[in-house]
Amino acid sequence: MGALGKPIILMVAMYAFLKFGLPNIPGSAPLPSSLIFLYLLLTAGGIFMFETVSGESKDAFWGPIQRFLTGENIGGLQALRYGVFILFPLLVGWQTYGSTAVSDLPPTESRTIHPAPPGEYTGLSNPVPKTPDNIMQGKGFYAAYCSPCHGGNFDGKGPAARGFIPAPANFADPTTIAMLQESYLFWRIKKGGVGLPIEGAPWKSAMPRWEVELPDEWIWKIILGEYDGAHQSPRTWE
């Protein structure tokens, strides 16, 4: 039976790693079950090739499996053998049911949070000088137009934020404006939710199209105010 122990331990360890280990590595994400299944299949294939590479190892690998399945001289494992025989068809049935049953879950949505801006909004630099005066003015505009949703503390928790999906961006979070250029913010503020490309699910965003109401200069000042208030700096390329 020894020849089977290692492959089984390896398979279980591989599954545990893919399912629970890998998502915890910084920058990683949970794997879809189909991918886990594929990786396990490849692992199993590798084990199979390794174990059947010579006649001797092949016997050592298949022998225990055969003995287990036929039930010859396996003593205490007999109950387990019957258990496997009962479980296997049930598992097959269950899998089949799962793959044919109509899902009760709504369609999955994948939304790109920071989609690429149109060409004319890449690489613009802020024409408004970063002076204490302009920053203060920007913060004033921010308080009037942005803070109801994005919050007085720049944390996306304004009084009107609740209920909007997607939630208003939290500027204090290092994954929002800190990883974007001022040019990008200018585009997002100017065009709002409806200016997003299809991968940004523009039909859901409540972000106003501020170009209708605010002059460009105010928008640039708001950007200064936002970075300053959220204690972040724009992304640069050097």
Chain residues binding other proteins by CB under 8 A are: 1-2, 4-5, 8-9, 12, 15-16, 19, 33, 64, 66, 69-70, 74-77, 80, 85, 88-97, 100-102, 105-107, 118, 148-149, 159-165, 191-198, 201-204, 206-209, 213
Instruction: Please report how close the Cβ of residue 144 comes to other proteins at its closest, in angstroms.
Output: 11
Instruction: Please report how close the Cβ of residue 101 comes to other proteins at its closest, in angstroms.
Output: 4
Instruction: Please report how close the Cβ of residue 118 comes to other proteins at its closest, in angstroms.
Output: 8
3-state secondary structure the chain: CHHHHHHHHHHHHHHHHHHHHHHHCCCCCCCCHHHHHHHHHHHHHHHHHHHCCCHHHHHHHHHHHHHHHHCCCCHHHHHHHHHHHHHHHHHHHHHHHHHHCCCCCCCCCCCCCCCCCCHHHCCCCCCCCCCHHHHHHHHHHHHHHHHHHHCCCCCCCCCCCCCCCCCCCCCCCCCCHHHCCHHHHHHHHHHCHHHCCHHHCCCCCCCCCHHHCCCHHHHHHHHHHHHHHCCCCCCCCC
Q: What are phi and psi of 152, to 5 degrees?
A: -60, -25
Nearer to other proteins, 32 or 132 (CB): 32
Nearer to other proteins, 58 or 162 (CB): 162
Beta carbons within 8 Å of 124's beta carbon, 6+ residues apart: 182, 183, 186
Nearer to other proteins, 148 or 173 (CB): 148
Nearer to other proteins, 39 or 164 (CB): 164
Nearer to other proteins, 162 or 231 (CB): 162
Instruction: Please report how close the Cβ of residue 191 comes to other proteins at its closest, in angstroms.
Output: 6
For residues 10 and 47, give the distance between their C-alpha atoms in angstroms, rounded to a whole number. Answer: 9
Instruction: Please report how close the Cβ of residue 168 comes to other proteins at its closest, in angstroms.
Output: 10
Nearer to other proteins, 128 or 207 (CB): 207
For residues 193 and 191, give the distance between their C-alpha atoms in angstroms, rounded to a whole number. Answer: 7
Instruction: Please report how close the Cβ of residue 128 comes to other proteins at its closest, in angstroms.
Output: 25
Nearer to other proteins, 192 or 234 (CB): 192
Instruction: Please report how close the Cβ of residue 217 comes to other proteins at its closest, in angstroms.
Output: 20
